[in-house]
Chain A
Amino acid sequence: MCRIGAIKSKKYLHPSIALKLMRSQQKGHDNSGFAFVMQDLGGIFNAHKDLPTLSLAATVEGTRRAEDILHDLGFTRVLQWAPEINHQKSLKIEPMPNYVFETFQYPKSHKYATQEEKEELLIDTALLLRKELEKDNSGYVYSFWPDVLTLKEIGSPKDIGTYFGLWEENEELCAKVITAQCRQNTNYDIVRYAAHPFFLDGYTILANGENTFFEKNRDYQRSLYKGYIGFESDSQCFLYTLHYINKILKWPIQYYKHTITPLPFEEIEARQDKDILLRIKASLSHLEINGPNTIFGVLPNGEMLCVCDSKKLRPVVIGQDDDTVIMTSEVTGINDIMPGRDIAKDIYPNEKETIIVKNDLTVERWKQ
């Protein structure tokens, strides 16, 4: 059981809020790691929201190689930030030597490039960096995208927070969207890439679950798009399917739920759009998921998303006040950081729903 959280706010929030959100939800295995993705950045990254930021954990050599590759491609650094490391022997953490958060100017060749061309370049570059650093395990490229910052580490969440000084609020590091999880995948060898949230091409996904159609999903996704790689966690499939539906196929986000957990036939038969739903069910049967899951996502436009498996086997609750909406596994986290909210407004999504948090924080509930 991992526990996940996603926060969207009108105000810039420091990642300590994610630590506090997850703190009360600890389970037996949940001291194995901590990872978060910050989007819509404030603080020192606010000045370069349209330029890509590299989130990298690497050895000294790995850092140098990554920078060389970027330099060779024509990227020029405009900003560099590193967390202030608070090293104490007692902390349970397996840190990498370097944590690099650097913002780059696009290469001159892309000065007049379209948005698509720039995105293509960033995806190719991130894939190249990952491939190069993977050769000798000299580093992990978590994201390379405008207005996105990712940190993943192995160890106790509380200690990871202490190590990076994340418990202390400051204005340098803040964002309006933060997604976090406090556990590594403990089913297999612990791998940094296997930690949620996962990021690709503007889409972020994190999940509490077990995807028993992993092999089916993976076998199909491998041939769909170059960025569908890794598969260190069965939850990466959720990200790739979301990306495929929304970005590649350009289908509205409603069809995500129809793809991963299609309605039963008898319900489809009674619907006006049955032809569409049956075709999706047939064409994308290999992207269907089975098994217990709660999935949170962030879309490129900044909207937040929540869906569950068709049997609603994993917990989820959404709390809100005027400034902030929080999705998380258990209500205890929301109780801690939003104690004064109106609990009658809490939302317990059901097995048929897609929840969308718009940028003005209105919450839409779509019945599948």
Chain B
Amino acid sequence: MNNETVKIQTLNNNNRMSTQELLQLITQKLEEGYTNFEIDGCGQHNIGGSSWSKDRKSELLFKIKNPGQRAGAMALKGTKIVIDGSAPADVGWLNSGATIIVKGDCGDTAAHCAAGGKIYVSGRVGTRSGALMKHDPKFEVPEFWVLKNTGSFGFEFMGGGIAVVCGWDCENISSVLGSRSCVGMVGGTIYVRGNFNDIASCVEVKPLDDNDINFLKSGLVKFLNEIDKSELFDKLTNFTEWKKIVPVSSGNKKERMSVSEFRKNNWIENGIFGDFINDDFTVYPMPSTGAGRIHIPKWNKENCIDCKICFNNCPQNAIEYENKIYHSADDKCIGCGICEAVCPKKCWEIISDRKEIS
């Protein structure tokens, strides 16, 4: 292996080395056994990503100035990337184990889909940072540390991992998480220091417990050291200023009021027609008995021969008789009309008059 540092200048006069040329040069040097790089970039993408040393054991070190998007994207364990200054979007995208240190700000979607390693940012990070971070339990937990604040829509659909937003130098900012962060977040933990608001309803804010505090204490030492700000340790370790954000546990989701409850509790008492009609809103089954019948049998004594055919054929056993007087019991009869059909003397009549509510 070769410990000599490979220094690459990507701008000569007005000729800029393209991303493709630069990445191919780095790959070539890696194959030659180099592990240390100093790259003076001009916006080239994906620097430091998806790389490993020839012997698969030696650590890689990339010191980069002015990288383009996706610095450290898809980087592996054993890679350390130090960016001197600010970097644009997608720093540490799909980070799978590298330590990425940004001594400046990050553009949008920093740590997007990071699933391993550590990302340390000494400044701010942009919109949608930390989105879709996740944690595969067979690997270490990804960490994403930000000294200042994040843009809006952060940590969308976060599924795992730990994000720490220190809120340093953010006294004049109303929310160190911007607006509408944590939408769709289902896993992981965000530690926040300072004011924040307008987070999604799928998460809840909790105070820190001892484990949280121990994690932050030891993590802050490493983080601040890497970004050359160890002097801030005391100022960031007043843990009453911190909170943590986690997804709402499924048991805490509340159910919507039913329309029935709404009608009983909120709606106009006795209904809007209550001054015309008396409706208790009970529902008649099909078929109904009693007043709910749409057809009602009426017995006519005149021709009755007391043959009991109606009595014996009524499917509801609703017909009663005494002293040759027949009668259909309202609480049993459904108004099917069988009595009328079977009577040889047409003593039953079915009344199907429409009834109105009063």
Contacts and interface: CB of A to CB of B under 8 A. Distances in A.
Direct contact of A and B (CB under 8 A): yes
B80 interface: no
Contacts of A25: 43, 68
Interface stretch (A89-97, A140-148, A342-350): A342-350
B123 A312 contact: no
B151 A343 contact: no
Interface stretch (B49-57, B102-110, B314-322): B102-110
Given A331-B107, A336-B66, A343-B105, A311 B153 contact: yes
A119 B305 CA distance: 110
A333 B124 CA distance: 18
B179 interface: yes
A165 to B, nearest CB: 12
A343 B86 contact: yes
Contacts of B61: none
Interface residues of A, number: 27
Contacts of B41: 24, 332
B126 interface: yes
B66 A335 contact: yes
B180 to A, nearest CB: 9
Contacts of A332: 41-43, 66-68, 88
Contacts of B85: 335, 343
Contact of B42 (A162, A336, A343): A336
A351 interface: yes
Contact of B43 (A24, A167, A348): A24
Contacts of B69: 330
27 contacts: A19-B14, A23-B14, A23-B42, A24-B43, A24-B66, A25-B43, A26-B18, A26-B43, A158-B16, A161-B14, A167-B14, A312-B151, A330-B43, A330-B89, A332-B42, A332-B66, A335-B65, A335-B85, A335-B86, A336-B42, A343-B85, A346-B105, A348-B105, A348-B107, A350-B151, A351-B127, A352-B179
A5 interface: no
B152 interface: yes
Nearest to B149: A348
Contacts of B165: none
A315 interface: yes
Nearest to A158: B14
B87 interface: yes
Nearest to B44: A24
Given A311-B153, A315-B89, A348-B151, A333 B43 contact: yes
A306 interface: no
Contacts of A333: 43
Contacts of A352: 179
Interface in A322-368: 330-333, 335-336, 343-344, 346, 348, 350-352
Interface of A: 19, 23-26, 158, 161-162, 167, 311-313, 315, 317, 330-333, 335-336, 343-344, 346, 348, 350-352
A19 B15 CA distance: 12
Contact of A330 (B16, B68, B104, B153): B68
Given A24-B42, A312-B151, A331 B16 contact: no
Contacts of B123: 343-344
A24 B68 contact: yes
B89 A346 contact: no
Q: Which 6 A-B pairs have CB atoms at the shortest separation, nearest pair first?
A: A24-B43, A332-B43, A330-B88, A335-B66, A24-B42, A312-B127
A350 B42 contact: no
Contacts of A312: 108, 127, 151-153
Interface of B: 14, 16, 18, 41-43, 65-69, 85-89, 104-105, 107-108, 123-124, 126-127, 151-153, 169, 178-179
A315 B152 contact: no
Grouping DSSP codes into helix (H, G, I), strand (E, B) and loop, the B interface class, with mixed when no group exceeds half, is loop
Nearest to A3: B43
A331 B88 contact: yes
Contacts of B89: 315, 330
A24 B64 CA distance: 14
B107 A317 contact: yes
A245 B14 CA distance: 41
Contacts of A351: 127, 152, 179
Contacts of A331: 86-88, 105, 107
Nearest to B84: A335
Residue from B41, B42, B151, B169 having most chain A Cβ neighbours under 10 A: B42
A139 B120 CA distance: 53
Nearest to A23: B16
Contacts of A344: 123, 169
A356 B86 CA distance: 23
Given A24-B41, A317-B86, A330-B89, 15 more contacts: A24-B68, A26-B18, A167-B14, A311-B153, A313-B127, A315-B89, A330-B107, A331-B86, A332-B68, A335-B85, A336-B42, A336-B43, A344-B123, A348-B107, A352-B179
A174 B123 CA distance: 35
A161 B15 CA distance: 12
A205 to B, nearest CB: 22
A352 B127 CA distance: 12
A161 B178 CA distance: 40
Contacts of B16: 23-24, 26, 158
Contacts of A343: 85-86, 104-105, 123
A331 B152 CA distance: 19
B126 A315 contact: yes
A315 B107 CA distance: 7
A158 B13 CA distance: 12
A25 B67 CA distance: 10
